[in-house]
């Protein structure tokens, strides 16, 4: 399956956002038609958002005094421990996202540029070998011969 381009992904993302907004508008229209209060619509939306998340008890009256303090301490300890682990995981997630943003070359591009590099290496290797053997070596032999004449 071909990989989608950035433009295609952006269009798909915009389409998803438009569908989501349309669903919200439909829910509001249905709420007005059925005379459902906004609070009930909000609770339905929150339920959809928190489908896989644990719900938190916002009522303090549900907890007894000691149990509430114990839970607060437990939550405070968990909150202290999570940032270190979360930051490591967040770092890895950020790295993964950056790797997805990179425009990677195709196999054809890699092959083409590899051939260019190998040809350039061969050309300059032959050039340096000829320069060394044809030009530099005779000059050095001539200079060393002159040094022997002066002695």
Tens-digit pLDDT profile for residues 36-67: 566 666 777 776 666 656 555 544 454 555 56
Distance separating alpha carbons of residues 137 and 65, to the nearest angstrom = 95
The domains of the chain are located at: 7-54, 64-104, 105-151
- Are residues 88 and 95 in contact, defined by beta-carbon separation less than 8 angstroms? no
pLDDT digits (tens, 9 = 90+) for 72-90: 666 666 555 556 677 888 9
pLDDT digits (tens, 9 = 90+) for 104-125: 899 999 999 999 999 999 999 9
Residues with Cβ within 8 Å of residue 27, at least 6 apart in sequence:
41, 44, 45
Distance separating alpha carbons of residues 11 and 4, to the nearest angstrom = 11
CB-based burial of residue 63 (10 Å sphere; 0-12 exposed, 13-18 middle, 19+ buried)?
A: middle
Buried b (16+ CB within 10 A) or exposed e, 5-32: eeeeeeeeeeeeeeeeeeeeeeeeeebe
Residue with tokens 């051939």: 115
Strand blocks (E) in the chain: none
Residues in the chain: 151
> For the whole model, what pTM was predicted?
0.35
């Amino acid at each position: 399956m071909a990989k989608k381009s950035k433009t295609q992904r952006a269009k798909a993302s915009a389409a998803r956002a438009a569908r989501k907004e349309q669903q919200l508008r439909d829910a509001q229209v249905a709420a007005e038609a059925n005379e459902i209060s906004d609070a009930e619509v909000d609770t339905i939306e929150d339920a959809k958002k928190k489908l896989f998340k644990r719900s938190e008890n916002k009522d303090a009256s549900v907890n007894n005094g000691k149990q509430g303090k114990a839970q607060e301490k437990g939550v405070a300890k968990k909150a202290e421990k999570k940032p270190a682990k979360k930051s490591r995981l967040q770092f890895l997630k950020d790295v993964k996202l950056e790797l997805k943003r990179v425009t990677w070359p195709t196999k054809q591009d890699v092959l083409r540029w590899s051939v260019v590099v190998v040809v350039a290496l061969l050309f300059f290797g032959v050039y340096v070998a000829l320069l060394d053997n044809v030009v530099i070596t005779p000059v050095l032999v001539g200079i060393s011969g002159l040094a022997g004449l002066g002695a």
